[in-house]
Amino acid sequence: MKEIEKAKTFYTAILEQEIEHDFGVNIMFKSRLSLWQISNQHEIAAIAGNPEQGRTFELYFESDSIEEIAQRIKASEARLLHDIKTESWGQKTIRFFDPDGHLIEIGETFEVFIQRIYNETKSVRETSKKTGVPEETITVIIREYQK
């Protein structure tokens, strides 16, 4: 996604998607659809394709149990780009190609990812520093998981 603001407008105004979290280059909708403006330095930019040819696409899903879905992917005939890895912001992801060669990413759900980092750091402030997520958002997620 190169023009995140244009895409955000399209998804909210035309497709009536409601924003749950807006982190500038990453927008998460209540429907669980996410948009991500990939930096040219990220490994995905080179893999997804040539922006001049309009091939900069990665389909993204989330899972509460990334380990289980990774086992199913690896047991299938899907070609892995990479096994489960931890991104620089702390979220675990796996990337692979579907039978038609489309790049697919599955990441931990936002709530699972934030809770895991919080459990590791034991601090809202440190979780925010690691993930880039505002402390207020982390506090809400932590409260919900403690119920």
* 49-88 pLDDT tens trace: 555 544 455 678 888 999 999 999 999 888 899 999 999 9
In 3D, which of 41, 79, 44 has the Cα closest to residue 60? Answer: 44
Q: Which of 21-30, 99-108, 130-139 has the highest mean pLDDT?
A: 130-139
More confident position, 45 or 8: 8
pTM: 0.70
Comparing 2-6, 40-44, 92-96, 138-142, the range with the smallest average pLDDT is 40-44
Q: Report pLDDT for 83.
A: 96
For 80, residues 6+ apart whose C-beta sits below 8 A from its C-beta are 73, 74, 94, 95, 96
pLDDT at 25 over 70: yes
Burial class (CB in 10 A: 0-12, 13-18, 19+), 69: middle
Helix (H, G, I), strand (E, B) or coil at 86: strand
Comparing 16-20, 26-30, 46-50, 83-87, the range with the smallest average pLDDT is 46-50
Residue 101: band (very low, low, confident or very high) from pLDDT cuts 50, 70, 90 = confident
Q: Which of 31-45, 78-92, 99-113 has the highest mean pLDDT?
A: 78-92
